[in-house]
Structure 1
Amino acid sequence: MNNVVCLDAVSKVYGRGQSAVAALREVTVGIPKGSFTAVMGPSGSGKSTFLHCAAGLDKPTSGSVRLGDTELSTMNETQLTELRRERIGFVFQAFNLVPSLTVAQNITLPLRLAGVRPEGAWLKEIVERVGLAGRLGHRPAQLSGGQQQRVAIARALVARPEVVFGDEPTGALDMMTARDVLTLLREVVNALGQTVLMVTHDPIAASYADTVLFLADGRIVDSVTAPTVEAVAERMTRLGAYV
């Protein structure tokens, strides 16, 4: 299976000398195309740093990060910005919608920033798939939290990215709404062949993934395939996350 994202011996150190903190230590992993991967670990285990390095939001101190055949660690900030806009989708806990724009304008914003015209049929399919067909003229304030996160997912998909990164995408949602959003992410992988990499602290959210990677002290210490809520929670407890 082809890997969309590859990390090879990636380390990230913040600070220098006595105050240096290693957030990632020699992490090597591949994220397969068309897969849903969850990343879990105790607080301070390096989850956010892992996501930021994998997505080109942060540069590793050493090691290599590749998106497809593109090496990220040698790119400058302008090149990385362009790469993120054209080849990567993001879904954050805080939705990050523009309040003054309509749903339709928020969804197509990455394309407009790139100077690309939205593809009508693809836009229609995404809007229908995320269940927003009747809401395109609404502003974010007129939507529920779950609907706002659906807008964010549609926005992440509109440029047909090679991978969608989710940073606690259900962290601000109640349980029922979170399950709707996770089901949607699962469908996006199954039906559209999208690749999703999601950082989460929630075993229920992780159970929607194909594989869960467990981080501790900046290293990948374990992984679980076809995860259940119970298996994930038990593994997290052994990592000391739920003591």
Structure 2
Amino acid sequence: MNQAAVRLRSVTRSYGTGDNAVTALDQVSLDIPRGTFTAVMGPSGSGKSTLLQCTAGLDRPTGGQVFLGETDLTRLSEKKLTLLRRRRIGFVFQAFNLLPALTAEQNVGLPLRLAGRRPRRSEVLNVLEQVGLRERAGHRPSEMSGGQQQRVALARALVTKPEVLFGDEPTGALDSTTSREVLTLLRTMVDRGQTVIMVTHDPVAASYADRVLFLADGKAQGELYAPTAEQVAQRMTALSAIPSKTSAVASC
């Protein structure tokens, strides 16, 4: 098996104190090999978005350790964590989060500018070409479809050549045809060596992954390799029958 891109060791995330404390993640340990596509699923309140946020360095766990490669994120200062996210991690969300006044080319180059580097036009156009939008480089978001905007967002996430690309419901706002296009792009990038971790509620989206990790009530509840949409749907039906203690506060 490939070296792990991400490792979680007994990761716990609790909110509140005393009798009002709720545990969104409960002693979760897992490895994500490099160059693989992992989907994270679970019923409402399972803690899957909390898992993504802790893994990506957007939130700090209450206990345990999170490693990106050999770097322990839990030991980093806020400043170093911010720099790490800019340089080594990419994000794609359900909302495209493109700046409306900027062209596709300018939106894609923005992470490099935030990192203090003037983007070369060739590298920006190259990543736009990877997502099939080189000819749209001069267009603003209002001049593109939802699927095209999400592909620009994907290019923006890839321009820094991140070690891991995180997706939080990246196809949630797209129709089924456009979703397939974006998922096929993600699958192609993984086949070329990119590591992708994606939270989703959609069994069809999860079927594009190499592995599906299931959560319920903040705990790991097994996994599927080379999943089909039908297998994922059946597992989700079973997990939904598990009462959730964290649904009131845990992100899903």
Superposition TM-score tier, normalisation by shorter sequence:
over 0.9
Q: Which residue of 1 aligns with 2:113?
A: 112
Count of matched residue positions in the alignment of Structure 1 and Structure 2: 241
The answer to whether the 8 A contact 2:105-2:125 is kept is no
Q: Which residue of 1 aligns with 2:248?
A: none
Instruction: Find the residue that maps to 2:75 and give its secondary structure.
Output: coil
The answer to whether the 8 A contact 1:36-1:195 is kept is yes
Q: Which residue of 2 aligns with 1:50?
A: 51
CA distance in 1, matches of 2:189, 2:142: 25
Cα deviation code 1:189-242 (max 9, x no counterpart): 112x10000000000000000000000010111100000000000000111279
The answer to whether the 8 A contact 2:36-2:194 is kept is yes
CA distance in 2, matches of 1:241, 1:152: 35
Q: Which residue of 2 aligns with 1:238?
A: 238
TM-aligned CA distance change 1:64 to 1:207, over 3 Å: same
Most deviating of 67-76 and 123-132? 123-132
Instruction: Find the residue that maps to 1:18 and give its secondary structure.
Output: helix
Q: Which residue of 2 aligns with 1:128?
A: 129
Q: Which residue of 1 aligns with 2:249?
A: none
TM-aligned CA distance change 1:144 to 1:23, over 3 Å: same
Per-residue deviation, 1:121 = 5.0
TM-score, reference length from structure 1? 0.96
Per-residue deviation, 1:78 = 1.2
Per-residue deviation, 1:30 = 0.7
CA distance in 1, matches of 2:122, 2:190: 19
Q: Which residue of 1 aligns with 2:144?
A: 143
CA distance in 2, matches of 1:121, 1:75: 33
| 1:82-121 aligned within 5 A | 82-119=83-120, 121=122
Q: Which residue of 2 aligns with 1:15?
A: 16
Instruction: Find the residue that maps to 1:10 and give its secondary structure.
Output: strand
Q: Which runs of 5+ in 2 are unaligned?
A: 243-252
CA distance in 2, matches of 1:135, 1:63: 44
Q: Which runs of 5+ in 1 are unaligned?
A: none
